[in-house]
């Protein structure tokens, strides 16, 4: 099967990532908005191809987001539970710096990263207040095509 390869970030990339987090906190001080809240929402969109995680405040303003593709996973490895847990790690770092401790989780999709993403959130020290499944379910579907006349 081969070795697992995780792309190690260079010092420049780590500095850029840290600066991005610091910019979020600085914007908070400039606008005097109350981003430094302890509550937030985590949206997990898990498909067959990728896992996207978005961290928002209670109003819905995006504070941080990440996906398996942005971390460095390629191809079918993006949809694995391992990739989803790594995505959660990056978002959890930002949540810790901002000061978010309690989150409401909204899960969408049917991919393999659903369960492991939620478990990783709990393991990273975020207290999960609720878990809600918001996967769209068709009630009756689209109108079928009319029959072909030959």
User: Which domains are seen in the chain, by residue range?
Assistant: 34-133 (3.30.420.80)
Q: What is the DSSP letter of 34?
A: -
Picking from 54, 55, 50, the residue whose alpha carbon sits closest to that of residue 68 is 50
Contacts with 138 (C-beta within 8 Å, 6 or more apart), sequence order: none
> How do residues 63-103 score in pLDDT, each as one tens digit?
999 999 999 999 989 989 999 999 999 999 999 988 899 99
> How do residues 103-129 score in pLDDT, each as one tens digit?
999 999 998 889 999 999 999 989 999
Q: Give residue 110's Cα distance to chain centre.
A: 15
> How do residues 16-72 score in pLDDT, each as one tens digit?
777 777 776 666 555 444 455 689 999 999 999 999 999 999 999 999 999 999 999
For 98, what's the count of Cα atoms within 13 Å in the CB-facing half-sphere? Answer: 31
Retrieve residue 28's tokens: 């908070």
Residue 4's pLDDT band (cuts 50, 70, 90): low
Handedness of CA 78, 80, 43, 11 (dihedral sign): negative
Residue 84: what are its φ and ψ, rounded to 5°? Answer: -65, -40
Can you tell me whether residue 26 is helix, strand or coil? helix
pTM for the full model?
0.73
């Amino acid at each position: 099967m081969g070795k697992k390869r995780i792309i190690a970030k260079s010092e420049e990339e780590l500095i850029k990532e840290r600066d991005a987090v610091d910019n979020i906190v600085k914007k908070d001080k400039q606008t005097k908005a109350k981003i430094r809240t302890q509550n937030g929402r985590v949206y997990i969109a898990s498909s067959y191809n990728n896992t996207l995680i978005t961290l928002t405040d209670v109003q819905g303003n995006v504070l941080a987001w990440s996906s398996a593709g942005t971390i460095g996973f390629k191809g079918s490895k993006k949809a694995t539970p391992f990739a989803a847990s790594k995505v959660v790690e990056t978002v959890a770092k930002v949540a810790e710096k901002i000061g978010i401790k309690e989150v409401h989780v909204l899960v969408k999709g049917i991919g393999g990263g659903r369960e492991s993403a939620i478990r990783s959130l709990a393991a990273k020290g975020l207290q999960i207040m609720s878990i809600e499944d918001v996967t769209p379910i068709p009630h009756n579907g689209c109108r079928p095509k009319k029959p072909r006349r030959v």
